[in-house]
Amino acid sequence: MSIVVGMSGGTDSAVAALLLKEAQEQVTGVTLHFSDRSHCCDLASTQRARAQCEHLGIPWHQIDMSLLFGSEVVTPFWRGIAAGNTPNPCLLCNEHVKWQGLMDAAHQLGADLVASGHYAGIVHSPDGDLICRGADAAKDQSYFLYRLSPEVRKRVVFPLAGRLKGQVKSLAAESFPPELLAKRESQDLCFLVDSLAVETRRRVGGAPGPVLLSDGTVIGRHEGLASYTIGQRSGLGISSGERLYVVEKRQSDNQLIVGTRNECMRDTFEVAELRWQHLPTARLQTFASDVVTRYRARPVTADVKRLSNDRALVHTRAPVFGVTPGQAAVFYQDRFVLGGGTIV
């Protein structure tokens, strides 16, 4: 098989390419350039990806995805922040940019499959091609892949599915010289130059307003609602005898509501923009599943009621901390991804 591998210059993608080559596949490395500001595809990372491919003796190509990255990831991210949400740009990048770039590369190069260094798996079954959790629960990245289209899932390969991060690092150290291995892992908000708070104030701004307890007591001033997220504890600029968290952002009144951790717990919320990978006919309206409300959060059992084709009501059987509009809720059945949607 001929396989295009997304090469970021990091350890995981390098080992993914190594494993495929050792399996006697015809491997081509492809590095996607997202932005001149992106930490995950800066000059050093790109040069390292190219050198990794040379070390493996496989072809290497670079594709400029910066225009698509700007329009489909960066612009929607700041639009969501301005609307009071906390978007996860990695979800949009995986759906609209990263895998689209690899699929385009596979088409241009005549490759059969596409691969990456994600810690996730794929199972091909009569019910469809289903993303599933990787073997390393601490590094599992299936959460980011619930929006992948059937076309992508049909052709995707995850060489690290059955491996632990420690095993991957050991294999990398054995197979690559130290200068070809990244010293740090890529960041979720790879396109930021300054901190999120600083860039939010510069790009979005917003009028200062009152910080209130849930009983209406004013205890401080905020710097603009866009700079805060549900569940946030540090950086609130208020003094209190107990730990306080952001509970609510009242856009209409420009008020930031803070409270105890218990006040940040929710057991009912809605999701929109649903994407399903597997939804058996018997479960079209109401079904039970595990749900994860942000990356690396603990899954909890929930009852999911579909309200329409792209909207659902989720009731968790145990309260969840910091359910945040703009983040994704991803539904699982055992280790398989059923689908997910955006928390509203």
Residue 27 corresponds to which tokens in the numbers above? 């491997």
> What does each C-alpha distance from 95 to 91, 98, 251 come to in angstroms?
6, 7, 29
Q: Which residues are catalytic, by number?
A: 93, 190
Distance CA 308, CA 289 (A): 18
| Amino acid at the residue 182 | A
**Angle at 57 (CA atoms; ends 55, 62), nearest 5 degrees:** 85
The H or E element spanning position 113 is: strand 113-115
Residue 129 corresponds to which tokens in the numbers above? 């091609």
The H or E element spanning position 99 is: helix 99-109
The two most distant CA atoms of the chain are separated, in Å, by 67
The dihedral through the CA atoms of 181, 136, 77, 233 has a sign that is: negative
**CA proximity to 209, closest of 226, 233, 197, 196:** 226
Asked if 289 and 302 count as a contact pair (C-beta separation under 8 A), the reply is yes
Count CB atoms within 10 A of the CB of residue 234.
Answer: 7
DSSP assignment of 229-260, as one string? -TT--TT-----SS--EEEEEETTTTEEEEE-
> What does each C-alpha distance from 330 to 118, 183, 306 come to in angstroms?
17, 31, 14
